Amino acid sequence: MESQTRLTIRQVAVLGAGVMGAQIAAHFANAGIRVYLYDLASEGKDPNAIIHKALKILTRLQPAPLADKSLISLIEAKNYTQHIAQLESCDLIIEAIAENMQWKTDLFTQISPHIAPHALLASNTSGLSLQQLMAHLPEPLQQRFVGIHFFNPPRYMHLVELTATSKTDILSLDQLEAFLTRELGKGVIRALDTPNFIANRIGVFAILAIFHHAERYQLDFDTVDALTGELIGHPKSATFRTADVVGLDTLVHVINAAAAVLETDPWRKYYRVPTWLQSLVEKGALGQKTRAGVYKKVKKAIHVMDVNSHEYRPVAADINQALMALAAQQPLDKLLLSLRDHPHPHAQFLWAIHRDVFHYAAVLLADIADSVRDVDQALQWGFAWKTGVFSLWQAAGWQAVTNAINEDIQAEKTMSTTPLPDWVHTIEKVYTAQGAWSARQQQYLLPRDLAVYQRQYYHAGQDSAPYGHTIFEDDSVRCWTHDGEIAILSFKTKLHTISEAVLDSMQHCIKLAAQHYSALILWQTTAPFSAGADLHQLHDAVITNTPIASVVEKFQQTSQLLRYCSIPTIAAVEGLAIGGGCEFLMHCDRVVAALESYIGLVEVGVGLIPAGGGCKLLAQRADQLTPATQDPSAYIQQYFETVATATVAKSAREAQQLGFLTSSDVIVMHSNEILHIAHQHARALAANYRPPQAQLIRVAGSACFANLQAHLVNLREGAFITEEEYHIGLAVAEVLTGSTLAPNTQVTEAWLLAEECRVFTQLLTTDMTQQRIAHMLNTGKPLRR
The architecture (CATH level 2) of 11-191 comes to 3-Layer(aba) Sandwich (3.40)
DSSP tag of 418: P
pLDDT of residue 732: 98
Q: Are strands 159-163 and 469-473 parallel, antiparallel or unpaired?
A: unpaired
Which SS3 state, helix, strand or coil, does residue 167 take?
A: coil
pLDDT of residue 328: 83
pLDDT of residue 466: 66
- What digits encode the pLDDT tens for the residues 121-153? 999 998 899 999 999 999 999 999 999 999 999
**What is the percent of the chain with per-residue pLDDT over 70, rounded to a whole number?**
98
- Could you tell me the residue ranges of all domains in the chain? 11-191, 199-445, 469-769
Mean per-residue pLDDT for 157-178? 95
CATH of range 469-769; options 3.30.465.10, 3.30.70.3040, 2.60.40.10, 3.90.226.10: 3.90.226.10
Among candidates 599, 595, 575, which has minimal Cα distance to 585? 599
User: In Å, how far from its chain's centre is CA 376?
Assistant: 18
* Spatial separation of the C-alpha atoms in residues 135 and 627, rounded to whole Å: 63
Q: Is the pLDDT of residue 458 over 90?
A: no
The packing angle between helices 580-587 and 549-564, to 10°, is 30
690's CB contacts (< 8 A; 6+ apart) are none
Among candidates 437, 421, 423, which has minimal Cα distance to 372? 437
3-state secondary structure string across 44-112: CCCCCHHHHHHHHHHCCCCCCCCCCHHHHHHEEEEEHHHHHHHHHHCCEEEECCCCCHHHHHHHHHHHH
Amino acid at 204: V
Range with lowest mean pLDDT among 301-310, 506-515, 553-562: 301-310
Q: Is the pLDDT of residue 610 over 70?
A: yes
Is the four-CA dihedral 695, 698, 702, 706 of positive or negative sign?
negative
Conformational region of residue 429, where left means phi above 0, alpha means psi within -120 to 50, and beta covers everything else: beta
pLDDT of residue 664: 96
- What digits encode the pLDDT tens for the residues 320-357? 888 888 888 889 999 999 999 999 999 999 999 999 99
**Confidence class of residue 365 from pLDDT cuts 50, 70 and 90?**
very high
pLDDT of residue 322: 81
**Confidence class of residue 779 from pLDDT cuts 50, 70 and 90?**
very high
**Confidence class of residue 459 from pLDDT cuts 50, 70 and 90?**
low
Alpha-carbon distances of 74 from 24, 155, 162, rounded to whole Å: 13, 16, 25
DSSP tag of 681: H
* Spatial separation of the C-alpha atoms in residues 148 and 160, rounded to whole Å: 7
Query: What are residue 488's DSSP bridge partners?
Result: 480, 521
Among candidates 653, 579, 655, which has minimal Cα distance to 614? 579
Residue-averaged pLDDT of the chain: 95
* Contact present, 493 and 539 (Cβ < 8 Å): no
Host H or E run for residue 726: helix 723-737
* Spatial separation of the C-alpha atoms in residues 601 and 646, rounded to whole Å: 6
* Contact present, 388 and 375 (Cβ < 8 Å): yes
pLDDT of residue 325: 84
Mean per-residue pLDDT for 407-418? 97
342's CB contacts (< 8 A; 6+ apart) are 323, 326, 348, 351
pLDDT of residue 321: 86
Neighbours of 671 (CB within 10 A): 22
Query: Dmax over Cα atoms in the chain, in whole Å?
Result: 86
* Spatial separation of the C-alpha atoms in residues 210 and 208, rounded to whole Å: 5
CATH of range 199-445; options 1.10.1040.50, 3.40.50.300, 2.60.34.30, 3.30.390.50: 1.10.1040.50
* Spatial separation of the C-alpha atoms in residues 121 and 168, rounded to whole Å: 11
* Contact present, 175 and 148 (Cβ < 8 Å): no
* Spatial separation of the C-alpha atoms in residues 55 and 200, rounded to whole Å: 28
Per-residue burial over 143-157, b = 16 or more CB atoms within 10 Å of its CB, e = otherwise: bbbbbbbbbebbbeb
pLDDT of residue 457: 87
**What is the percent of the chain with per-residue pLDDT over 90, rounded to a whole number?**
91
pLDDT of residue 5: 53
DSSP tag of 427: -
Mean per-residue pLDDT for 171-185? 95
pLDDT of residue 774: 94
pLDDT of residue 3: 42
pLDDT of residue 639: 98
Neighbours of 469 (CB within 10 A): 9
Among candidates 571, 578, 572, 478, which has minimal Cα distance to 530? 578
Mean per-residue pLDDT for 383-390? 96
